[in-house]
Structure formats: C-alpha cells, structure tokens
DNA sequence: TCGGACTGTTGACACGTTTTAATACTGACG
DNA sequence: CGTCAGTATTAAAACGTGTCAACAGTCCGA
C-alpha cells in the first residue's frame, strides 16, 4: 500500500507542500498556472487527501453525527434525507448512528462521534437523561435535539406530541369509541409519554374517565411489537379503538388482528402516528398523525450548522411544529 | 474548548504518554495497578481518545464503509442491520453512504471513504463500471460487492437474480398470464437487467415469444416510480400480469391501479421482488421473491473483515444464494 | 554477589496535513 | 537605479497518538 501524500504531489509539481495545501483549501491564493500544475500532479499520482491528518490539525472534522432511535423506521429515514440534503451542499459528511432506543447503544454511539471529533450532533435521545449531551457540548460539539423539545439552552426541533395524541384520541372518541387502548414502546421514550399525555387530555376534555384508556407497553416500536401488543389485547378483551404510538406498531397490530379475524375498523378502530408512506398502502389504509418529517431534519441541520459556524453569536431556538390528523379507512 | 490529551492523562497518573497509550491499546502489557491509576485519570479528566490522530498514525481507521443504492429501501436497511451486527462486535464503526442509484453520488461517497481511510468498503455498485473500486483496492482498501456477483479477483455476496426473475415470471405464466409487463428501474442497474434476463428465460422455457413481456422503465425504484409505471400501463393498455423489479415499485403500482379501479389479482396479477416486511401487510398482500437479506449483509461483512485482517492469506470468494418464491394474494 | 531472564515503563520519532510568519519575486514609480 | 507595494511561495512548527528500541527494576538460580 503506497501512500501518496501532499509531499509527493509537491515534489512532482515542483512546489512546496504548503502550496499544495493551498490549492486544496484556498485555491484563490495560488497563481493560476501553479494551480494547474499542482492539479495535474494530483491527478497523475491519484492523490487523495488524508482526512484524519486534516482533522487532527484542524481539531474538528467536516462531519456531523445523526443519532436516531431506529434506522428501520421510515420516519427517521425521512429525517435523514432532510439532513443529508442540507449537509451535502456544504460538503460535510453525515455519520448515521442507530441507538435502537437503547441508552447503552446511544452512549456508545456518542463516544464514537466524540472520538471522531464531529462538529456537531443531531440526536433523538433514547431517554430523558441528557447529561452525556451536556458533556459533549462542554467539549465544543454543537448539539441539536430532533423530535425532542428542549428547555432553553440548546436548540431543538420537534412536533407537538401532546397535540398529536390529543388529535388521535379526540378523533377516536368522536367516532364513538368507549374503551380505548394505547399501544406504545417503552415509556422512557419521551414521544411515547407525551402522546399518552395528549391522549389523556382528550379523554378529560370529552369528560371520560382516565381508565377508559388502557396502556399496552411493548419493548420495541416496530411491527413485531405491534403483533405482540395485539396478542395481549386479544387475550385480555378487545377495546373499541386502538391508538398506536407509531405506524410500525399500528401495522403490526393491524396484521395480527386481521389474522385473528377481527375486522378493522368495524370491530376495532385503529390509528397510528407518523404517517409513513406504507400506511396509506396497508391492507386497511391506516389513519395516522402526520408530521413534517423531512422539514424536521432539514431545519435541525440548518440550526446545527449555524451554531457550528458561529458558536458565540448563535441564539438557541426551540422550534415546534403542529401535527395533522389524517383519516383513512382504519378509523372511518 | 479545552482538549485533554494523552499527555495530560499521563501527567495526572504520573506515567509517560506511552504507558497511557498502552493502557488504551494493549492493556495486558501494563501492570494492573498502573492500569487502574491511568484509567482513573482518564475518568477524572473525561479524556476521549482522538480518533483522527490514531487513524493518522495507524494509516487506517477502525471503520468500514457501506454504500447502498437507496437507504429508503427496507431491503438495504435489512442488509445494513446484518452489517452492523457483525461490525459492532469487533468495535469497528460503519459509515453508511447512499448513492441513490447515481454513479456520481457513488463516486463522491467513495472519495469520502477514501479520505477517511476506511479499512474496507461494502458496496452495491450503481453501474457496471467498477474501475473506481479497482483504484480503491490498489490503495489497500478491501472491497466486497454486495448483491452483485463478481468475476473472480474480488469477494462478492449475491442472490441469483436470473433465477429470481425466472421464478417470478414462471409463476405468472403458470397462473395463466398471456401479456406481461416488467416494471423496472434504470437498466444500468445490474439487478434490473438480470431479473429481466430471468424473466425472458422463463418465457422461452414456456415457449412464449419475447414480445409477450413489455418493459416499463422508470427512473427511480420506489413507490413513485411504481405509480409512474402504472400510469404508463393504464395509458397503453393493461397486461394480465406485472412483474416489478422490487417491492417498492410493486406497492406503487398496486396503489395506482387500485385508485384507477383495477382489481388485483382479478384484472391484473402482480408480483414484486425482495419480500420486504411491508409487502405482506399491503392492501393486497404482495407476492414476491424472497432473498436472505440479513445474511447478505452479515456474510459480506465477515468476508470483508477477514480480508482486512489477513490480506495475503485471503482467498476471494463469490457466494451466491438462491431466491425463493412467496405467493400471496396479489397473484393468486 | 553476579549474571541473566523477564516484566514494566519510557522517550523520541513518525504519521500527513494546515497555518503562519517570513522570504522571494514582480512591476511600477520616483 | 533604488524603493516600495503587493503578490506568490516557502519553511517550519504544530496537532495527538502509536510504536519500538532502549532502559530500569525485580526476581531467581548459580
């Protein structure tokens, strides 16, 4: 493995290494003819700049980290699209990490990102403990919370989950539901508890007792989790209506109920959350709560890069979008 | 931003920087008491190793690159899961890149990976031109092709796409199809042409003319592409049966046909490819060709790391799995 | 007591780039 | 012809870690 560095290029072009570096980083400072000669040498030798050396020297890499709860969830894929579209314009890179909703994996991911000296981190935290992020920020790494509202001294971009939960359950109640179930992932996940909070608010508003809503907690917020929840519900007596903390859960629930011969929406109404693309194509098109997912990623990234570029002049912002009810067959 | 390095740690622990480095990289070489003292200092100072410096010194990073055609496609998400499960055991990191089926973006991604000095690259190439990969390998970066069979001097893990296309179309013919359509992404993508090859073979075997199969090419292999294809088909006269080059296309086709009042499978039979999780939950559960997706990622990674660890002793392997027909409602 | 074998630790250098202050060069003008 | 302003280039010093040869310390057997 022959490593051709800036030195070899310099030699071949008959200039000093410093000039090669200038060609790479501030081409306007070097005379056109020299520049051409250097670029030619770069091409001939197949030189590729060593990013680690540049990062070491600069103290920071041209990369940001994105830590999501579940890469398998189209919601986060869509967020990631928004992030990448912004970032690639500024020739930065995105390091995508998956915490799998586990604080342990999240911590490991953050450590890797810290080691890589990323400029900033976009993260949907796996639990309420943000102390690791605080540590990161003390190291000079900018942080923006995604889909997680912040209290003040940090940027965040989120969607009003309480309002979303309220929308969903109000809709189910309007439709005549008496006994409801809330299918959710671990309650350590903020989105899950907030949506439940909204759901309960809807009950109160409608003058119903809190016990009209039964929680069904499963360990993973995906289709298997949904199937598991459906089994529990089938065993314990079905409600009139089910609100799921995301669409993957809802699709799993729908699947398991159908296989058990339960008709949706005739026997049980069903609504999910996120409005992922597949929901509208499901066996029974799924009602859902729509969020501006792509925007979430895009705006979060803009805030992050703004903070990176001007850490002192930057004023932290907390942006919150409002979700939207999408009614389809599953709750009609 | 205070940077605490190996030197500060050494000072606090009363040892030399070399010893701290040993604690980090070969703990067994340093006495237990010293090790404890150093680790304590590390904790107290909140030291985080500088990955770029380590990479610079070592000549390569503890990371591999994974370049996929479409992160939005559950097929690749599943591959990525297989990759990460293997990689995280060996405390390496995965840099996930999305080429979006574009050779230009693929080239950009490969350049970034080269700059990062990754140990190896797992890639599903966006076209047949593998010269960039050849360049990478000359630089000493191991390469394994994923879902793309190789000819000999490089490792590859793939699934027999010709067989898959054959399976799909044979099934449609058995079911009585006379006029067929093949909905596909750009024919520069190998998977698309191979599956078509298989489809045509099936026609020949059945003694049908090649013109019984009409190609419908769309620019993107996702649900929008599928909807676009369906519009073309609706405008040009519907076939009896449609074979889609992947499930996302098929879901899009299904959607658009249903909206146009076409019944699946009564008016048109439909089969996809990949058997992603959502296919079985679709409005009309989708027939598909199943591939050992997770295995693909897992085995490719094992091959890659094997090659990284012992580049000389490594013998390149080309592994090919056989796909499997899954019949559901959409073609029953 | 001494030599030898072994274990633990050290110091210094190298990795490839960026940056800064200094130097060489080029015309233009007095 | 000398000076000056401005531009183009250079040399050298970092950045933080890993490695390796050399060195100190300890223990054992002779």
Residue A55 in domain = no
Q: Are residues A70 and A127 in the same domain?
A: yes
Identify each DSSP E strand in chain A by its residue range: 63-68, 93-98, 120-123, 142-146, 155-159, 180-184, 213-217, 241-244, 269-271, 288-290, 318-321, 324-326
d(CA B163, CA B191): 12
Q: Are residues A127 and A232 in the same domain?
A: no
Number of structural domains chain B divides into:
3
Residue A205 in domain = yes
Residue B116 in domain = yes
Residue B54 in domain = no
Q: Are residues A150 and A252 in the same domain?
A: no
* Of A277, A281, A225, A231, nearest in space to A250 by CA: A225
d(CA B5, CA A60): 15
Residues of A in contact with B114 (CB under 8 A): 48
In three-state secondary structure terms, B95 is strand
Residues of B in contact with A78 (CB under 8 A): 72
The per-residue DSSP string of B32-93 comes to HHHHHHHHHHHHHHT----HHHHHHHHSS-SEEEEEES-TTSHHHHHHHHHHHHHHHHTT-E
Tell me whether residues A112 and B135 touch, CB distance under 8 A: no
Q: Are residues B176 and B112 in the same domain?
A: no
Percent pLDDT > 70 in chain A is 99
The one-digit pLDDT tens for each residue of chain A (332 residues) are 578 999 999 999 999 999 999 999 999 999 999 999 999 999 999 999 999 999 999 999 999 999 999 999 999 999 999 999 999 888 899 999 999 989 999 999 999 999 999 999 999 999 889 999 999 999 999 999 999 999 879 999 999 999 999 999 999 999 999 999 999 999 989 999 999 999 999 999 999 999 999 999 999 999 999 999 999 999 988 999 999 999 999 999 999 999 999 999 999 999 999 999 999 989 999 999 999 999 999 999 999 999 999 888 899 999 999 999 999 999 99
Q: Are residues A174 and A149 in the same domain?
A: no
Residue A1 in domain = no
Tell me whether residues B84 and A98 touch, CB distance under 8 A: yes
Per residue in B75-104, pLDDT tens? Answer: 999 999 999 999 988 889 999 999 998 999
CATH code at position A213: 3.40.50.2300
Residues B97/B67, Cβ–Cβ less than 8 Å: yes
d(CA A329, CA A263): 12
Q: Are residues B14 and B96 in the same domain?
A: no
b or e along A226-242 (b: 16 or more beta carbons within 10 Å of the residue's beta carbon)?
A: bbbbbbebeeeebbbbb
Cα–Cα distances (Å) from A311 to A144, B48, B256, in that order, read 13, 22, 49
d(CA A222, CA A214): 19
Q: Are residues A98 and A146 in the same domain?
A: yes
Residues of B in contact with A116 (CB under 8 A): 51-52
Cα–Cα distances (Å) from B279 to A200, B79, B296, in that order, read 34, 17, 20
Determine phi and psi for A243, rounding to 5 degrees. Answer: -110, 125
Q: Are residues A165 and A271 in the same domain?
A: yes
Q: Are residues A199 and A271 in the same domain?
A: yes
Residues B212/B179, Cβ–Cβ less than 8 Å: yes
Q: Are residues B168 and B287 in the same domain?
A: yes
In three-state secondary structure terms, A98 is strand
Q: Are residues A151 and A298 in the same domain?
A: yes
Cα–Cα distances (Å) from B153 to B143, B147, B309, B314, B315, in that order, read 10, 16, 18, 11, 9
Tell me whether residues B281 and A283 touch, CB distance under 8 A: yes
Provide the pLDDT for residue A1: 59
Test mutation, A69, A107, A277, chain B, max B CBs within 10 A: A277
Provide the pLDDT for residue A313: 86
pLDDT at B1 over 80: no
Burial degree of B286 (CB within 10 A; 0-12, 13-18, 19+): buried
Residue B314 in domain = yes
pLDDT at B51 over 70: yes
Residue A54 in domain = no
Per residue in A148-173, pLDDT tens? Answer: 999 879 999 999 999 999 999 999 99
Residue A205 lies in domain: 161-291+327-331
d(CA A140, CA A160): 29
Both tokens of residue A40? 């030619």
Test mutation, A48, A140, A280, A285, chain B, max B CBs within 10 A: A48
Q: Are residues B77 and B122 in the same domain?
A: yes
Tell me whether residues A282 and B285 touch, CB distance under 8 A: no
Does the reported pTM lie above 0.75? yes
Closest chain A residue by Cα to residue B79: A72
> CB atoms < 10 A from the CB of A259, how many?
11
Residue B246 in domain = yes
Determine phi and psi for B327, rounding to 5 degrees. Answer: -95, 125
Determine phi and psi for B2, rounding to 5 degrees. Answer: -85, 130
Q: Which residues have CB under 8 Å from A21's CB, separation 6+?
A: A6
CA B77, B81, B82, B83 dihedral sign is positive
CA–CA min distance B72, chain A (Å): 6
Q: Write the Ramachandran bin of B46: left for phi over 0, alpha for psi from -120 to 50, otherwise beta.
A: left
């Amino acid at each position: 493995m022959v490593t051709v560095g800036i030195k070899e290029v310099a030699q071949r072009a008959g200039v000093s290494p410093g000039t090669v570096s200038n060609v790479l980083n501030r081409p306007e400072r070097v005379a056109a003819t020299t520049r051409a000669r250097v670029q030619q040498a770069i091409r001939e030798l197949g030189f590729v700049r060593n990013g680690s050396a540049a990062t070491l020297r600069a103290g920071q890499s041209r990369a940001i980290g994105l830590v999501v709860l579940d890469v398998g969830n189209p919601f986060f894929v869509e967020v990631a699209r928004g992030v990448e579209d912004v970032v690639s314009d500024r020739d930065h890179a995105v390091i995508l990490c998956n915490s799998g909703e586990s604080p342990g994996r999240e911590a490991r991911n953050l450590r890797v990102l810290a080691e890589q000296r990323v400029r900033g981190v976009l993260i949907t935290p796996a639990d309420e403990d943000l102390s690791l992020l605080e540590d990161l920020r003390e190291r000079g790494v900018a942080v923006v919370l995604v889909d997680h509202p912040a209290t003040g001294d940090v940027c965040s971009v989120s969607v009003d989950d309480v309002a979303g939960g309220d929308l969903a359950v109000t809709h189910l109640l309007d439709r005549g539901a008496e006994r409801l179930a809330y299918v959710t992932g671990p309650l350590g996940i903020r989105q899950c508890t907030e949506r439940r909070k909204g759901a309960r608010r809807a009950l109160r508003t409608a003058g119903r007792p809190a016990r009209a809503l039964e929680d069904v907690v499963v360990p993973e917020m995906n289709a298997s989790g949904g199937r598991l929840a459906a089994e529990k519900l089938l065993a314990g007596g079905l409600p009139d209506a089910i609100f799921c903390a995301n669409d993957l859960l809802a699709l799993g629930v729908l699947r398991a109920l159908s296989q058990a011969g339960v008709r949706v929406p005739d026997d049980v109404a069903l609504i999910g959350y996120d409005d992922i693309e597949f929901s509208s194509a499901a066996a029974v098109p799924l009602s859902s709560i729509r969020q501006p997912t792509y925007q979430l990623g895009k705006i979060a990234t803009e805030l992050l890069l703004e903070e990176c570029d001007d850490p002192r002049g930057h004023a932290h912002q907390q942006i919150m979008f409002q979700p939207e009810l999408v009614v389809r067959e599953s709750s009609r």
